[in-house]
């Protein structure tokens, strides 16, 4: 396997937050890969589900989802569903890459599992079960880039709702999961679960012993058993440090997550000239007492991009400008963003718009009742305002 595409996912939970649970993710991809933001309404599948490389059996009516995804694949790097579940995945390298664990064989991509987990779950616990059941049934693998040959890997996931989060790390059909109920947690492109394993695949330790990855002595350590040689902890440790810094006031909120995702020094944020730039970003504030808000850039490099909010409503609509016309061409917002990325004046105006949007939305959402119709075109209006700025 080649080095995984760099990306990072974060979650902060009470008592460190201002409201609810805050989730954040930067996606990494090959230079020029387009990430689109799409909305998929709830529906009843009429037959098997065609994922990126293979079909899976349907599982009843799906949940409505908002997804940030490379335009060429079925699955998503990150997203949220109408029940307030968010999921992001990470590419990881392991030391077990034969047979069912061969990542080069076309099976389910990690991104397919993200989308299936969102479409089939009403909370984080259910999402964990959905993903692990599909993983054990179908396996994972297949090329993860249209432009980078040999780009295939195993996956880790960060799954969150308004009550808790799960870190799920995998190797082939084998997995371990750690539940997070307070504080903060991040994942990067390496295995991070050690001996605190709250759920796991059946026979995990025996499998590791049979493969010669664990001698059976002492407490089983998932990361030590399955990590590939040469793993880098630089961004993972930098992410931990940033989380510690921004949660010190115990009032962490979405704007703090924006700052973490925009941090260039750590390598968490990478500009468009990088070989593997940050291709898209998401921040979600998940609460049970008021509507959850999901912020997406739909454009690369969050230090230059603007986060735009989305709220699930009965008649929600998003802008056509974040949706690619086909698998070969970028969406309108991406085209205009690239033309204007050196225009600092426009960037300053857009960041001011973002700041005002956060303040205004915070005021409105704190008093809103059951009728959410005023948010039907929230993301659409923000995207189309951004388009006007660029033009």
Give the mean model confidence (pLDDT) for residues 364-384: 95
| Assigned token pair, 273 | 């000239």
pLDDT in tens, 187-240: 999 999 999 999 999 999 999 999 999 999 999 999 999 999 877 899 999 999
- C-alpha distances in Å from residue 261, one per residue of 64, 194, 224, 317: 26, 25, 28, 26
- Crossing angle of the two packed helices 378-390 and 344-365, in degrees rounded to 10: 160
Residues 120/43, Cβ–Cβ less than 8 Å: no
Bigger pLDDT: 109 or 230? 109
Bigger pLDDT: 230 or 350? 350
Give the mean model confidence (pLDDT) for residues 158-163: 98
The pLDDT assigned to 230 comes to 75
Residue 2 has pLDDT above 70, yes or no: no
Q: What is the largest CA-CA distance in the chain?
A: 64
Residues 228/192, Cβ–Cβ less than 8 Å: no
Q: Tell which residue, 151, 144, 166, 162, has the closest CA to residue 69.
A: 144
Share of the chain above pLDDT 90, in %: 90
Indicate the average pLDDT of the chain: 95
The pLDDT assigned to 341 comes to 79
Residue 284 has pLDDT above 50, yes or no: yes
Residue 359 has pLDDT above 60, yes or no: yes
27: left (phi over 0), alpha (psi -120 to 50) or beta: beta
The pLDDT assigned to 149 comes to 59
Give the mean model confidence (pLDDT) for residues 338-367: 91
Bigger pLDDT: 6 or 1? 6
Measured CA angle at 283 (ends 261, 389), to 5 deg: 80
pLDDT in tens, 27-55: 999 988 999 999 999 999 999 999 999 99
pTM, two decimal places:
0.97
The pLDDT assigned to 3 comes to 55
Of the chain, the end-to-end C-alpha distance in Å amounts to 42
Question: Please, which pLDDT band fits residue 144 given cuts at 50, 70 and 90?
Answer: confident
CA 312 remoteness from chain centre: 18
The pLDDT assigned to 1 comes to 42
CATH 3.60.60.10, domain 8-390, yes or no: yes
Residue 150 has pLDDT above 70, yes or no: no
Give me the phi and psi of 228, to 5 degrees please: -75, 160
Question: Please, which pLDDT band fits residue 349 given cuts at 50, 70 and 90?
Answer: very high
Share of the chain above pLDDT 70, in %: 98
Which 3 state secondary structure label does DSSP give 169?
strand
pLDDT in tens, 57-104: 999 999 999 999 999 999 999 999 999 999 999 999 999 999 999 999
């Amino acid at each position: 396997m080649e080095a995984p595409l760099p990306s990072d996912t974060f979650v902060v939970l009470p008592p460190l937050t201002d409201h609810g649970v805050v989730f954040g993710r930067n996606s990494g991809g090959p230079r020029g890969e387009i990430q689109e933001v799409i909305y998929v309404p709830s529906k009843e599948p009429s037959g098997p589900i065609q994922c990126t490389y293979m079909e899976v059996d349907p599982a009843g009516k799906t949940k409505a989802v908002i997804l940030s995804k490379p335009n060429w694949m079925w699955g998503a790097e990150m997203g949220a569903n109408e029940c307030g579940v968010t999921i992001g995945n990470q590419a990881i390298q392991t030391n077990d890459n034969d047979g069912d664990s061969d990542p080069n064989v076309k099976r389910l991509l990690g991104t397919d599992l993200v989308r299936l987990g969102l479409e089939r779950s009403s909370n984080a616990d259910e999402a964990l079960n959905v993903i692990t059941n599909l993983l054990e049934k179908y396996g994972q693998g297949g090329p993860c880039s249209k432009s980078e040959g040999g780009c295939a890997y195993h996956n880790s996931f960060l799954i969150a709702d308004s009550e808790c989060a799960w870190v799920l790390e995998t190797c082939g059909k084998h997995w371990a999961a750690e539940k997070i109920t307070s504080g903060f947690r991040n994942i990067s492109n390496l295995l991070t679960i050690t001996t605190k394993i709250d759920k796991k695949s059946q026979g995990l330790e025996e499998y590791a012993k049979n493969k010669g990855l664990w001698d059976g002595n002492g407490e089983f350590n998932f990361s030590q058993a399955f990590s590939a040689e040469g793993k880098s902890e630089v961004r993972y440790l930098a992410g931990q440090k940033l989380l510690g810094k921004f949660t010190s006031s115990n009032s962490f909120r979405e704007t703090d997550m924006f700052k973490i995702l925009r941090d260039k020094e750590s390598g968490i944020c990478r500009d468009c000239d990088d070989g593997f730039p940050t291709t898209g970003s998401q921040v979600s504030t998940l609460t049970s007492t008021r509507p959850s808000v999901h912020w997406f850039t739909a454009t690369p490099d969050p230090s230059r991009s603007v986060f735009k909010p989305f709220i699930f409503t009965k008649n929600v609509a998003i802008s056509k400008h974040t949706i690619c016309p086909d698998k070969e061409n970028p969406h309108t917002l991406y085209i205009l963003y690239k033309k204007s990325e050196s225009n600092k004046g426009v960037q300053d105006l857009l960041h001011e718009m973002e700041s005002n949007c956060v303040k205004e939305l915070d005021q409105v959402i704190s008093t809103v009742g059951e009728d959410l119709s005023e948010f039907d075109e929230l993301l659409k209006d923000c995207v189309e305002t951004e388009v006007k700025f660029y033009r």
